[in-house]
Amino acid sequence: MENNVIIVGSKALSKYLLSALMASGNSENIVLRGRGKNISKTVALANILSAKHNFKTKEIKIGEEDLENGKKTSYIEIQLEFLKS
């Protein structure tokens, strides 16, 4: 089972929603990953997918990683499973 990773950034939420729905056709699991100020957008996307598009949250990882400039930033990874009807 392969995971498709969608990195949530500064684009519109609808772009990531479309990417997630397309990725669900190729794999049962997708991983949403957001850093810094995009964490809230990542959580919102996971909530939309769970509420309206038949996904279930499997695992959530949070942590901190080092950036190239020596600073640290927080991240979240949300693994979702597509529930086929």
Beta bridge partner(s), residue 8: 34
Global pTM value: 0.89
Predicted pLDDT at 1: 42
Range of the domain at 32: 3-82
Instruction: Please tell me the distance from the alpha carbon of residue 81 to that of residue 54, in angstroms, as a whole number.
Output: 9
User: How many domains, in total, are found in the chain?
Assistant: 1
The position carrying tokens 């038949």 is 54
- Show the low-confidence residues of the chain (pLDDT under 70): 1-3, 85
Amino acid at position 48, single letter = I
> Which CATH number covers residue 38?
3.30.110.20
